[in-house]
Structure 1
Amino acid sequence: MHPTLIKNARIVNEGTITQGDVLINNGIIVEIGSISAKTGDTKIIDADDHYLIPGMIDDQVHFREPGLTHKATIETESRAAVAGGITTFIEMPNTVPQATTIELLEEKFARAKETSWANYSFMFGGTNDNLAEILKVDPKKVAGLKLFLGSSTGNMLVDDPQTIEEIFSKTNLLISVHCEDEETIRKNMKAALDKYGEDIPIAEHPNIRSAEACYLSSSKAIELAKKTGARLHVFHLSTEKETHLFSNKIPLSEKKITAEVCIHHLWFTDADYAEKGTRIKWNPAVKTQKDKDGLWKALLDDRIDVIATDHAPHTNDEKNNVYTKAPSGGPLVQHALEALFEMHHKGKISVEKIVQKTAHNPAVLFQIEKRGYIKEGYKADLVLIDPNAPWTVTKENIDYKCGWSPFEGTTFKSRITHTFINGVLAYENGKFPNRTRGERITFNR
């Protein structure tokens, strides 16, 4: 592999933006500063004063493989992620079959090694009856344990209180949870069905999967984590009320209880259901403007630690069903960073904060080795972004296998121009010049 020199970049790292160059060799950042090419075979890329940031580490995606590959595959969605400046992803266990045994988990790792464009890890899935398997998981090689404490498919809903406490007490894995109280949701759904029948208006979604359902489940999980000393990470907060369960009093590296927010909960509100319909049907639901404002406040004051996508594609035909039959979830990895930069243009968030929440903090939170920063000796997972290159999301430039996006018709002011995976240029101005092979990430635990 020839060395690559990125010249004239605005390097964003650890809360600062500095003008400079970055030299990459053998997949590693070897020098940062004012640099001349060391050898005649060095490839030089002129950044033209664009932002150079560490690639986004997306801690929650659903790439649908195995078993649901009519929606997406590890190959198609990792490629779309690379186009979106996501260089590392952590994928969820609710595939078919579910990754609830070591053997099935390793089969997913083997498939990613063959096909993934980006770097990868996978969550192991907990159930009501697989504690013995959970205790076999090596925390240095696996991102963590995923528990569905609400809203799951198959047998992955973990709803036995004794089992949940036993898992929290015995595992040393990072536990990531989906929190929505099923009893509350079932009660709300029955009331909606009684009132509307099968064709429930989509605007009822945040009333069915209510703020109360989220808070009840999240608060119980946090109470249990405090009781047992478990390391807890709460996925996709969607309510203002939940944000008060989390603290910004200590550094992230010392926190035992952390939180994530997703792009869609920062961008959309319940006012958008009228236009977007089931395309913005997610679990947990997109809720009110007050909730969105509260999520932003908690993100910026560091009660919420990371931003993710919860990328979860479905086909157009599946989404274009009545409410009760339309699945929840949507594709987001290709447009997440550019959506965040759009929020930057609107004065909502600084570029430095975007990098903190999408790269630095996921690396710290999951204790990922040698990624998430622009530092000498670190893996060269890098992204160049032109902040002044407007473009519009259309069906023709969507890379998801499902072929649609909730951002269709949206014009972003910023554009990702280059993405490097382990020092290899994977994406450049709408093209994929090199077929990269992502690496299985490791953890310093």
Structure 2
Amino acid sequence: MAKYTLIKNAKLVNEGEILAHDVLIKDQMIEKVGYDLSHETATVLDAEGKFLIPGIIDDQVHFREPGLTHKAEIYTEAKAAVAGGITSFMEMPNTVPNTLTQELLQDKYDIAAERSLANYSFFMGASNDNLEEVLKTNRQDVCGIKVFMGSSTGNMLVDNEETLERLFSRAELIVAAHCEDEGTIRANMELYKEKYGDDIPFTAHPLIRSEEACYLSSSKAVALARKNKTKFHVLHISTAKETDLFDNDIPLKDKLITSEACIHHMWFNDEDYLTKGGNIKWNPAVKTAYDRDMVFQAMLEDKIDIIATDHAPHTIEEKNNGYLNCPSGGPLVQHALPAMMEHYLNGKISIERMVEKMCHNPAILFEVEKRGYIREGYYADLVLVDSHDVWLVDKGNVLSKCGWSPFEGYKFRSKITHTFVSGHLAYENGKFNEEQKGMRLKFDRK
């Protein structure tokens, strides 16, 4: 027997409009969107005063499984994501072992099928010597290929120019890249070691992983993609200078070269290292207030196409190390939407544009099948947000396994109250229903 849920009285944010529409869900799908809907057997959810948005699609997370599960697991991080309004994630291949074979890629899908509350996809990893394996990747059910053109773990740094040329010329699905120039970073690191020895301050991080390191790598990668007409996506833009590499006069569906901005690069700046230290140490580094503001502006101007998290947890103990032994990355999936809602409440972005960048555009860019919008016949990935509910971030309410957040001590003014994943009410007012797991994302690629 079909299960119906009717969401009434919400402020529906979708496709550039805010409408007083109801939404009727039948099993996994959106059955009807319209005014004053009713259904005799539906469970009715009164969403008076709340925003109803499509589920967020986060194209860059590191959930650490397999091999690094002392930091995070697909199970714990997917729950944190759902609590943050993220209904679908795309996870990166620098786990242990690195995801460099089709068998290892399938292993991650098998884990997610059993344990992920959110919908999921996993990038296939590229190395200097696995091109033929990469080219076996299925375009219909894998989000893309990930290449690290900068520092990474294990065998994931691709610095062989012939390999890169072959990858960019032969790849049949989107190639996403972390772009930082390894040679520049190493040279900068040696200078700071000479100056400070082992006691390098965290304030040096954006000078070691500098604007030059980012631009040198990203400009080279963009040129290579243009030459080969590769569908290419530059992850986590962190500098004002890089934003000039991207066009804003082409519809997203027609762009070959795209980019993303991450929450932390649009929130923090280099002055925050003085108080937060390693807790805001990411790669690429958080840079100046000017860079932060220009990345945000480039996102508004459509030079940067989507907003993501680069969620990458480490333990508190690891983060408490000195600079040289402090790993880069931090948890963000639970707090990304509340952070963006702060920008909305402060008048920096409309909620319609926020939804475009976090929900619609990832679906367009990756050609995700039947998600990212509130449309009849689409999967019911839906999030209710109360924009008048103040709450304090502290260790006691952090859901990521690592148990901390760079936003600790901050009072957000918006709270996610309900998250539907493929029609299933997975999260409601702080409580999870794990009876139904998320689905493997499919991609509508010709």
Matched, 1:16 2:40: no
Contact 1:118 1:436 survives alignment (8 Å): no
For the residues of structure 1 that align with 2:305 and 2:108, how far apart are their CA atoms? 28
Question: Counterpart in 2 of 1:127?
Answer: 127
For the residues of structure 2 that align with 1:226 and 1:157, how far apart are their CA atoms? 21
Amino acid at match of 1:394: D
Local SS of the residue matching 1:165 = helix
* Structure-to-structure mapping, 1:9-408, within 5 angstroms: 9-40=10-41, 42-408=42-408
Q: Structure 1 stretch 342-351 or stretch 182-191: which is displaced more?
A: 342-351
Please state how far the C-alpha of 1:249 moved relative to its aligned partner. 0.8
Local SS of the residue matching 2:406 = coil
Amino acid at match of 1:198: D
Contact 1:425 1:434 survives alignment (8 Å): no
Local SS of the residue matching 1:349 = coil
| Misfit runs of 4+, over 3 Å | 433-436
Contact 1:424 1:434 survives alignment (8 Å): no
Q: Structure 1 stretch 430-439 or stretch 163-172: which is displaced more?
A: 430-439
RMSD (Å) for aligned C-alpha atoms: 0.7
Contact 2:24 2:37 survives alignment (8 Å): no
For the residues of structure 2 that align with 1:106 and 1:81, how far apart are their CA atoms? 22
Local SS of the residue matching 2:259 = strand
Contact 1:209 1:285 survives alignment (8 Å): yes
For the residues of structure 1 that align with 2:49 and 2:22, how far apart are their CA atoms? 10
Local SS of the residue matching 1:419 = strand
For the residues of structure 2 that align with 1:154 and 1:407, how far apart are their CA atoms? 30
Q: Structure 1 stretch 302-311 or stretch 26-35: which is displaced more?
A: 26-35
Which whole-Å deviations, capped at 9, do the CAs of 1:367-400 have from their partners, x for residues lacking one?
A: 0000000000000000000011111101111101
Contact 1:23 1:35 survives alignment (8 Å): no
For the residues of structure 2 that align with 1:396 and 1:156, how far apart are their CA atoms? 35
Please state how far the C-alpha of 1:39 moved relative to its aligned partner. 2.3
Amino acid at match of 1:77: E
The alpha-carbon distance between structure 1 residues 152 and 47, as it changes in their structure 2 partners (threshold 3 A), is same
Local SS of the residue matching 2:12 = strand
Local SS of the residue matching 2:185 = helix
Contact 2:29 2:378 survives alignment (8 Å): yes
Contact 2:179 2:217 survives alignment (8 Å): yes
Which whole-Å deviations, capped at 9, do the CAs of 1:282-304 have from their partners, x for residues lacking one?
A: 00000001101110110001000
For the residues of structure 1 that align with 2:262 and 2:302, how far apart are their CA atoms? 15
Amino acid at match of 2:256: K
For the residues of structure 1 that align with 2:49 and 2:376, how far apart are their CA atoms? 21
Local SS of the residue matching 1:221 = helix
Please state how far the C-alpha of 1:433 moved relative to its aligned partner. 3.3
For the residues of structure 1 that align with 2:392 and 2:132, how far apart are their CA atoms? 49
For the residues of structure 2 that align with 1:202 and 1:20, how far apart are their CA atoms? 49
Contact 2:338 2:415 survives alignment (8 Å): yes
Unaligned residue ranges in structure 1 (runs of 5+): none
For the residues of structure 2 that align with 1:250 and 1:231, how far apart are their CA atoms? 14
Which whole-Å deviations, capped at 9, do the CAs of 1:184-241 have from their partners, x for residues lacking one?
A: 0000000000000111000000000000000000000000001111110000000000
Question: Counterpart in 2 of 1:6?
Answer: 7
Please state how far the C-alpha of 1:49 moved relative to its aligned partner. 2.2
Amino acid at match of 1:440: R
For the residues of structure 1 that align with 2:263 and 2:297, how far apart are their CA atoms? 14
Local SS of the residue matching 1:166 = helix
Local SS of the residue matching 2:224 = helix
Which whole-Å deviations, capped at 9, do the CAs of 1:82-133 have from their partners, x for residues lacking one?
A: 0000000000000011111001000100110000000000000000000110
For the residues of structure 1 that align with 2:37 and 2:25, how far apart are their CA atoms? 12
Which whole-Å deviations, capped at 9, do the CAs of 1:45-104 have from their partners, x for residues lacking one?
A: 000121000011000000000000000000000000000000000000000111110010
Local SS of the residue matching 1:178 = strand
Local SS of the residue matching 1:244 = helix
How much identity, in percent, do the aligned residues show?
A: 60
Local SS of the residue matching 1:230 = coil
Contact 2:117 2:434 survives alignment (8 Å): no
Please state how far the C-alpha of 1:434 moved relative to its aligned partner. 4.1
For the residues of structure 1 that align with 2:374 and 2:283, how far apart are their CA atoms? 34
- Count of residues in correspondence between the two structures: 444
Amino acid at match of 1:19: A
Please state how far the C-alpha of 1:435 moved relative to its aligned partner. 3.5
For the residues of structure 1 that align with 2:421 and 2:368, how far apart are their CA atoms? 16
Q: Structure 1 stretch 358-367 or stretch 289-298: which is displaced more?
A: 289-298
For the residues of structure 2 that align with 1:435 and 1:169, how far apart are their CA atoms? 44
For the residues of structure 2 that align with 1:373 and 1:430, how far apart are their CA atoms? 24
For the residues of structure 1 that align with 2:293 and 2:136, how far apart are their CA atoms? 41
For the residues of structure 1 that align with 2:370 and 2:402, how far apart are their CA atoms? 33
TM-score w.r.t. length of structure 1: 0.99
Contact 2:10 2:48 survives alignment (8 Å): yes
